[in-house]
Structures are given as structure tokens and as C-alpha cells.
A = this chain, B = another copy of it.
Amino acid sequence: MSAAPERRHELLATAAEVFAAQGYDATTVRKIADAAGILAGSLYYHFDSKESMLDEILSGFLNELWGRYDAVLAAGHGPTETIEALVTESFREIDRHRAAVAIYQKESRQLREQPRFGYLDDSQQRFERAWLRTLERGVAAGVFRADLDIRLTYRFVRDTVWVAASWYRPGGQHSPEEIARQYLSMVLEGVALRARHDPVTQ
């Protein structure tokens, strides 16, 4: 039932690609098997079920992501640097595991309700706490605006980053770091020209 871990990995990558392209429900195990060049039944030598493939893809992605996030959060940066680092790590993760991120984006709301995928909720809540705390620190430190509803701000930043997974294509003209830089610039400083606000400082 387990077998060589490399084969699992290949099959999982294939499955993730198909899930991301067609949606989890619309993906039949036969499509995955076709893409892998084997028959549908043969997948069950490697995995318990279609759902367990999804599980492995998502938990693998979240484990890796939290490894990076935890490093950032433990580094003791100031709020702006923390946010910059979190956003940059997020875009890097999108670059590395685009399929998994796209699946997460699309399916997590439904999945969350099943006990098996309860960890999606946990992750979501840790994520929210980390962001809210960082934003609050930024407001307290006078580097973020105080006039905004902080939950709205959180959602704004969160969505803004992750939705990118739905259109991002690795190997495109912008590196993840470059995209992160521009996104951060928009998020932090806005799209409007600042010049007119303070011509003197320019």
C-alpha cells in the first residue's frame, strides 16, 4: 500500500496538476491515472482513496508553508518587515507549489467542514492571528494606518496575495520576488500617485 516514495511523489504531483486544472470534484481518478499513464485501479496500490491524495497534497503544502512562516515570525522583525517577508514567502510558495495553492484556494472552504480536513481551519486561524497581530503592532507603532477596519485590511491583504495563484504561471516574466515587491508596494503605498500629497519630500 505504501511503496517507493518517489513514485508516490510523482503521482501526487500529477494528481495536483489535474486537481488544479479541473477542480477536485470534476477530476476523476481515471483522469489522474491517464495523466500518469496507468489504469485507475492501479492508483489504489499507492493511495487509499482520491481523498487521501488530496489530503496529502494539501497537508504537504501547509507543512512546508508553515515552516517558512514560523521562521519569519520567530525572527523578531518589525511589522513592515514581517509583512514583507510573509508576502514574499507566500509568492515563493505559489511559485514552488502552484497546483497545491490553487487547490487550496478553490476547495478549502468546502473541505474545512469535514473532520478530516479540520487542519485547514486550524491553519487558517493561525494565519489570521499572525496577520492580525502584525497589523496591530504596525498600527501601534504608527507605521500602518489606524483608520481602517483591521479585519477588512487583513482580508484585503490575504486575498490579494493568494488569488494570485489562480493566474500565476511559474517561469513567466516576473519572478516571485518581483511580484511580491510590486504587490507590497501597491498594498502598502497604494496605487495613487503620492507626489501630489507631498511634493516637498520627493
Q: Hey, which bits of chain A sit against chain B, CB under 8 A?
A: 22-23, 25-26, 80, 106, 109-110, 142-149, 152-153, 155-157, 159-160, 163-164, 166-167, 174, 179, 182-183, 185-202
Q: Are A199 and B197 in contact (CB under 8 A)?
A: no
Q: Are A155 and B148 in contact (CB under 8 A)?
A: no
| With A110-B23, A155-B167, A182-B149: A199-B198 Cβ-Cβ less than 8 Å | yes
Bound: A68/B179 CA distance, A:
32
User: Would you give 16 A-B contacts (Cβ < 8 Å), ordered by A?
Assistant: A23-B23, A25-B25, A25-B26, A143-B196, A145-B191, A145-B194, A148-B182, A157-B191, A188-B191, A188-B192, A190-B190, A196-B201, A197-B198, A198-B199, A199-B200, A199-B201
Closest to A183 in B: B156
Bound: A200/B197 CA distance, A:
9
Contacts of A160 in B (CB 8 A): 156, 159-160
Q: Are B194 and A153 in contact (CB under 8 A)?
A: no
Given A142-B193, A186-B187; 5 other pairs, CB 8 A cutoff: A106-B106, A148-B191, A153-B186, A198-B199, A200-B200
